[in-house]
């Protein structure tokens, strides 16, 4: 391998020398050299770094297929070498390789940020929700439940939020939307809020957002709900409850018995119509509702007062899992419209089935029938402190049983045989 080295001025090589060079090294001066190996040529800048270490920095390959290509390559190499020399004589001196690597890393970071920003702009709330639905919901649920999951979001989330980049959706806008739907459809609002929270958690994992604004709004929405609870579900004034119950008992059918059961247990409609016989223990006089059927996703044990036990003893346990089976299809539970239709037949459109929980709560609080914690435990309202909640469930069992027995006695204070007309109607 031949070598031609020059220690004189820079830019010593002619274009012709570069084009015709064989294997070896040709020095252009000032640390720049052309290295040729097996016919392939590349430019190298050799220098002493500020640390005192001798280093070589590649300045790219040298194209030699034409005079024009050689000229361009020589110019580019000399420009690179000149820039490197300037770094070495700067104050403070800079290692050209370190500077180049740093510039490349900064360019890589900038490009990654640009791509991420573009991704975020395209990552609308709708797209992120659909991706999450496709990856995590569809594989775990049947087709109907899967459709219902995504449809609840597509139907109820306002378009201006649904089609906005998820990163730009403002917390205040989410709060306004969730408060509005909560005031109108509490159960639906709860499902929508929970599903949106799942979407945001996934978006955090994917680096699309920094936090979950929906989860942060949960306590605020709960406080709003507590303030409006009494007006959200029209309820029967508790002094009228005994007369209403007496009238209810004149109506036959599964819906009437289920409504009685709801009244005596202060349960939610969905909890009652979904009750199965394996949840009922007549020996211990308890109804254990599993976490998956509870609004707060925690198991709830209901002490059954005597009138509730009496209702259960009149119902058939043969061949069907449901305590209150459907009228037309016993293989399914009673429709949630059953009790609502019964109220309409009783000409009581001024109240709701869920409102009986408010009736119970008002009676218990106004008559001081029990401590507030015990009343809230009977209603299965969420306890913010988990340790306290576990303690309450353990300690309130007997107090809740006494409260529900007292409530049942109040409900039955008007004899069942009384001939009572619908309230508010003349005889």
CATH of the domain at 202: 1.10.150.130
Mean pLDDT taken over the chain: 85
The reply to whether the predicted model has a pTM over 0.85 is no
- Is there a domain that residue 255 lies in? yes
- Is there a domain that residue 109 lies in? no
Distances (CA, A) of 379 to 172, 301, 304, 330: 31, 11, 13, 29
Among 232, 253, 275, identify where a domain stops: 232
Do 219 and 247 belong together in one domain?
no
- Specify whether the CB–CB gap between 14 and 74 falls below 8 A: no
Contacting residues for 269 by C-beta, under 8 A, at least 6 apart = 262, 336, 339, 353, 354
- Residue 167's pLDDT is 87
- Is there a domain that residue 110 lies in? no
- Is there a domain that residue 71 lies in? yes
Q: Give the pLDDT mean for 281-286.
A: 93
Do 226 and 282 belong together in one domain?
no
Do 258 and 312 belong together in one domain?
yes
- Is there a domain that residue 102 lies in? no
Contacting residues for 97 by C-beta, under 8 A, at least 6 apart = 49, 55, 57
- Residue 294's pLDDT is 84
Does the pLDDT at position 415 exceed 90? Answer: no
Q: What is the DSSP string of 209-237?
A: -SS-HHHHTHHHHHHHHHHHHHHHS----
Do 166 and 88 belong together in one domain?
no
Do 377 and 244 belong together in one domain?
yes
Task: Using DSSP, state whether 340 is helix, strand or coil.
Answer: helix
Alpha-helix residue ranges (DSSP H) falling in 93-250:
96-122, 125-132, 143-156, 159-162, 171-184, 186-205, 213-216, 218-232, 241-248
- Residue 235's pLDDT is 84
- Residue 181's pLDDT is 84
- Residue 81's pLDDT is 95
Query: Which DSSP helix (H) or strand (E) runs through 13?
Result: none
- Is there a domain that residue 187 lies in? yes
**Distance from chain centroid for Cα 156:** 15
**pLDDT-based confidence at residue 387 (cuts at 50, 70, 90):** very low
Query: Which DSSP helix (H) or strand (E) runs through 355?
Result: helix 355-366
Q: Give the pLDDT mean for 22-30.
A: 94
Distance CA(370)–CA(403), nearest Å, equals 7
- Specify whether the CB–CB gap between 257 and 425 falls below 8 A: no
The number of beta carbons lying within 10 Å of the beta carbon of residue 12 is 17
Torsion of CA 85, 89, 90, 91, to 10 degrees: 160
- Residue 5's pLDDT is 42
Do 298 and 317 belong together in one domain?
yes
Q: Which residue has the tokens 């059954």?
A: 304
- Is there a domain that residue 418 lies in? no
Do 252 and 159 belong together in one domain?
no
CATH number at residue 356: 1.10.443.10
Does the pLDDT at position 113 exceed 90? Answer: no
Alpha-helix residue ranges (DSSP H) falling in 206-337:
213-216, 218-232, 241-248, 254-265, 269-273, 306-314
Does the pLDDT at position 266 exceed 90? Answer: yes
Does the pLDDT at position 115 exceed 80? Answer: no
Do 246 and 329 belong together in one domain?
yes
Do 77 and 140 belong together in one domain?
no
**pLDDT-based confidence at residue 420 (cuts at 50, 70, 90):** very low
Does the pLDDT at position 392 exceed 60? Answer: no
Distance CA(287)–CA(71), nearest Å, equals 91
Question: What length does the chain have?
Answer: 427
- pLDDT per residue over 189-230, tens digit each? 889 999 999 999 999 998 888 999 998 888 788 776 554 444
- Is there a domain that residue 359 lies in? yes
**Range with the poorest average pLDDT among 295-299, 362-366, 415-419:** 415-419
Do 284 and 181 belong together in one domain?
no
Q: Give the pLDDT mean for 374-392.
A: 63
Pick from 44, 41, 77, 81: nearest CA to 61: 41
Among 189, 210, 232, identify where a domain stops: 232
Question: What whole-number percentage of the chain has pLDDT above 90?
Answer: 56
Q: Give the pLDDT mean for 83-101.
A: 94
> Which of the two residues, 229 and 91, has the higher pLDDT score?
91
Do 281 and 190 belong together in one domain?
no
> Which of the two residues, 255 and 426, has the higher pLDDT score?
255
- Residue 385's pLDDT is 42
Total of domains in the chain: 3
Q: Give the pLDDT mean for 92-106.
A: 93
**Range with the poorest average pLDDT among 64-68, 101-105, 110-114:** 110-114
- pLDDT per residue over 297-339, tens digit each? 788 899 999 999 999 999 877 778 999 998 888 888 998 788 9
Do 256 and 396 belong together in one domain?
yes
CATH number at residue 51: 3.30.160.390
Q: Which residue has the tokens 């890589």?
A: 108
Identify the domain containing residue 346 by its residue range: 238-411
């Amino acid at each position: 391998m031949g070598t031609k080295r020059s220690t004189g001025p820079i830019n010593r090589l002619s274009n012709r020398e570069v084009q015709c060079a064989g294997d070896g090294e040709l020095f252009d001066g000032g640390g720049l050299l052309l290295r040729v190996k097996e016919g392939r040529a590349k430019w190298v800048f050799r220098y002493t770094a500020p640390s005192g270490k001798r280093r070589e920095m590649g300045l790219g390959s040298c194209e030699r297929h034409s005079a024009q290509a050689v000229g361009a390559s020589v110019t580019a190499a000399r420009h690179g070498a000149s820039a490197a020399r300037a770094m070495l004589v700067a104050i403070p001196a800079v290692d050209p390789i370190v500077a180049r690597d740093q510039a490349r890393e900064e360019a890589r970071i900038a490009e990654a940020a640009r791509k991420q920003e573009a991704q975020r702009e395209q990552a609308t709330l709708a797209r992120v929700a659909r991706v999450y639905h496709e990856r995590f919901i569809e594989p775990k649920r049947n087709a109907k439940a899967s459709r219902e999951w995504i449809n609840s979001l597509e139907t109820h989330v306002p378009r201006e939020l649904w089609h906005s980049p998820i990163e730009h959706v403002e917390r205040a806008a989410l709060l306004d939307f969730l408060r509005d739907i909560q005031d109108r459809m509490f159960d639906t609002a709860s499902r929508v809020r929970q599903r949106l929270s799942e979407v945001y958690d996934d978006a955090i994992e994917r680096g699309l957002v920094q936090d979950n604004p929906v989860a942060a709004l949960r306590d605020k929405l709960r406080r709003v709900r507590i303030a409006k609870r009494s007006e959200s579900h029209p309820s029967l004034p508790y002094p009228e409850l005994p007369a209403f119950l007496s009238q209810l008992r004149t109506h036959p059918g599964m819906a009437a018995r289920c409504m009685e059961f709801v009244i005596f247990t202060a349960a939610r409609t969905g909890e009652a119509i979904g009750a199965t016989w394996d949840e009922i223990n007549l020996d211990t006089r308890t109804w254990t509702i599993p976490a998956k059927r509870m609004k707060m996703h925690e198991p709830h044990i209901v002490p059954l007062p005597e009138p509730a036990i009496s209702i259960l003893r009149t119902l058939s346990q043969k061949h069907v899992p449901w305590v209150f089976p459907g009228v037309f299809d016993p293989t399914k539970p009673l429709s949630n419209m059953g009790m609502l239709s019964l109220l309409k037949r009783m000409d009581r459109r001024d109240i709701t089935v869920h409102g009986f929980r408010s009736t119970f709560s008002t009676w218990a609080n106004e008559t001081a029938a029990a401590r507030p914690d015990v009343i809230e435990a009977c209603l299965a309202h969420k306890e913010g402190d988990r340790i306290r909640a576990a303690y309450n469930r353990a300690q309130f069992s007997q107090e809740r049983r006494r409260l529900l027995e007292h409530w049942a006695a109040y409900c039955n204070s008007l004899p069942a045989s009384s001939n009572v007309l619908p309230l508010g109607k003349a005889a």
